[in-house]
Amino acid sequence: MYGVGVVHARDRLWQMFFFNHLASGRLSELFGNATIETDLYMRNIGIVQIAENLLKNAGKEDLEALEAYAAGVNDYIDSMSYHPLEFYLIWKTMPHWRPIDSVIHQVIIQYFLSFDWFMELTRQRLTEIYDKWLVDRMMPFQNKDYFFKDSQLMTDEELKAGGFFDDQSGLHKVEEDLLYFRASD
């Protein structure tokens, strides 16, 4: 996990900093009065308190992984000769990463992944009032194919015409220099 911490800090330091402030209801420290309502909302959700409870109940292996990750992040921070540009725009530096910060990130990601909770509650309430058939027509997102229905960008024939489809194997061809890993690596 140490190496993952180093790589995340190298590639995502600003995002890590920003999400910690967002989840903790502390964006106003960075952006002033414009984010006070967001801060109040996030503090009411209680992401930090949820993370603290999760950390209290974490097992030994989990704690060791969180500490190794934090050590990787912190070693990268300590080795930087300069911060990413975003930090200079707000005149801040990245504080050392703590195990709780990783748990805060886990909780806020779970929160973001559950953004449809309002739609689910609305659907349930409408179903209590109206016929399910009507609710399904008013709120079509329930259909499991909603996001991917009729989303094909190119047909096989268009891929063949462009030379990106192998008739023999049925596989899409990709220029080797576009691949992240090559067969010769």
pLDDT tens column, 154-169? 566 766 676 655 555 5
CATH number of 2-113: 1.10.439.10
| Mean pLDDT, residues 52-70 taken together | 93
pLDDT at 107 over 80: yes
Q: What is d(CA 97, CA 69) in angstroms, rounded to the nearest whole number?
A: 9
Each residue's pLDDT tens digit, 116-153: 667 777 778 878 877 777 777 666 555 454 444 444 55
Query: Domain extents for the chain?
Result: 2-113
pLDDT at 62: 92
**Cα dihedral sign for 17, 19, 20, 26?**
positive
Cross-strand bridge partners of residue 172: 165
Q: What is d(CA 169, CA 1) in angstroms, rounded to the nearest whole number?
A: 39
pLDDT at 164: 57
Q: What is d(CA 121, CA 135) in angstroms, rounded to the nearest whole number?
A: 12
pLDDT at 37 over 80: yes
Q: Nearest Cα to 51, choosing from 120, 122, 108, 133?
A: 108
Per-residue burial over 31-47, b if 16 or more Cβ lie within 10 Å, else e, is eeeebeeebeebeeeeb
Per-residue pLDDT band at 86 (split at 50, 70, 90): confident
Each residue's pLDDT tens digit, 87-106: 778 788 888 999 999 999 99
| Token pair 């952006």 in the structure block, residue | 31
- pTM of the model as a whole: 0.62
Using DSSP's 3-state secondary structure scheme, residue 172 falls into strand
